[in-house]
Structure 1
């Protein structure tokens, strides 16, 4: 399994974890988020869940930035005992309705209170955590040999549709990140987040060599399903209602022109390392 190279890039005031307004904007429509957001490959869930470091019959997983409990429910179905941590009380409340115990806190300020776990996981959330402080806190919560695994879903629509999406965003939101996102490889962008996470693990000094895992899969969307998902993503959660409606109208027309549905090629990118005995 390849190890992740060190990016060694200086942090700036524009680091994602410093944008708390956006980080805590997803709870504005927690029900939609829970309904529309994609799940994660079972092979990834099973690989994290296989770690056993203690006497418990079920592996213990701490889900950082658990949101509404999407990944947590998959870990629970895989036989894990899961505790969630999330900064947004609205997301946490919905996760509790799914039966997940959740503590409301940013991860950097969360107190493990002596509790330890086989795995600390973060699904689509680690970029909202300081990569070094988060890795240090995760080490406190992991038993020796436990795994820190942070991962993201990166989706790529068919090339022609991606270009049409880019045209819509360039017209409605010129110069924005959303206007450029379809021109680049999403998997590469998330790999950069993974590299930052790996650098944080190295700097924490509590882990073995970080690895990158990748899982390729596909999911088909109808027009309505895609338009249901878009408002839950970071480029959209803080848009004014009129501007969001304009985006959705243009994107919906693009999917209609493509036949009313399309298949998204996903790559789930994970950065992961094992806590060492010396931590």
Structure 2
């Protein structure tokens, strides 16, 4: 796995509060679709891989599914989520890396991961998930993907990247369609899972210039920039948004992958 990519997964642990405040939540429809597919009981145990600050955990709990084991790499993130759900006796947060986590096979009816499983080696991760699931258990992994709209403000933001961080230029990012194809192939390879269903969700969020910069600051690729480059890039993007009225409309795109264990 790419060294830079390995480094990225450790960048979130010191910004738990910021991440919780500014990152978008997942739509309720996603969780409704998830449980319609999984068809599990409220008392069935759920595994959540890479819970972060518990944003997806909230979506599970709000629909009454509160028997959840969360595994989170970041120590502060794990503490944050444990505190957040301290009144839920059925929710347990474990700190450590999923690849080396020891847990009983066949324990879970459902495995969930929200914008996190790409940090896990797929050759290890998918097999481990399959083993942890009970017979014909469900995996439900979802990701937020970037969409670059063809608007004046985003075109000017592209110029900021071209000047200060060309390797992060939006045109160099894979499209949602490319990412979906890649993740679909990873999900069904080795015949571990069957009956794959992919669902997508789109909406638009409005950010002030300050909030949009705060959002960028929670993204791992931006956090790895040098302080000097980051300051110049963020200042220039902030200035562009201010020039366009101080607000920016950002399209959001989430893809949900549902599949059943093949045995």
Q: TM-score if structure 1 supplies the norm length?
A: 0.83
Change (3 A) 1:198 1:106: farther
1:95 has 2:95 as partner: no
The 1-side partners of 2:33 and 2:17 are apart by: 29
The 2-side partners of 1:85 and 1:230 are apart by: 25
Moved more, 164-173 or 145-154: 145-154
Maintained 8 Å contact 1:208/1:275? yes
Change (3 A) 1:24 1:93: same
Which of 74, 97, 110 in structure 1 is aligned with 2:59? 74
Match of 1:32 in 2: 18
Change (3 A) 1:86 1:195: farther
1:154 has 2:145 as partner: yes
The 1-side partners of 2:44 and 2:204 are apart by: 29
Please give the secondary structure, in 2, of the residue aligned with 1:84: strand
Which of 3, 15, 39 in structure 2 is aligned with 1:52? 39
Equivalent pairs counted in the alignment come to: 255
Flag the structure with higher helix content: 2
Match of 1:240 in 2: 226
Superposition CA RMSD, Å? 2.2
Change (3 A) 1:30 1:57: closer
Change (3 A) 1:195 1:144: farther
1:163 has 2:167 as partner: no
Change (3 A) 1:223 1:143: same
Query: 1:59 offset after TM fit, Å?
Result: 4.3
Match of 2:206 in 1: 220
Match of 2:50 in 1: 65
Which of 105, 116, 138 in structure 1 is aligned with 2:96? 105
Query: 1:221 offset after TM fit, Å?
Result: 1.0
The 2-side partners of 1:216 and 1:226 are apart by: 18
Maintained 8 Å contact 1:132/1:203? no
Maintained 8 Å contact 1:120/1:148? yes
Give unpaired runs (5+ residues) of structure 2: 86-90
Give unpaired runs (5+ residues) of structure 1: 1-12
The 1-side partners of 2:195 and 2:105 are apart by: 26
Query: 1:235 offset after TM fit, Å?
Result: 1.8
Q: TM-score if structure 2 supplies the norm length?
A: 0.88
Query: 1:215 offset after TM fit, Å?
Result: 1.1
Change (3 A) 1:60 1:236: same
Change (3 A) 1:131 1:189: farther
Match of 1:250 in 2: 236
Which of 180, 184, 197 in structure 2 is aligned with 1:198? 184
Match of 1:9 in 2: none
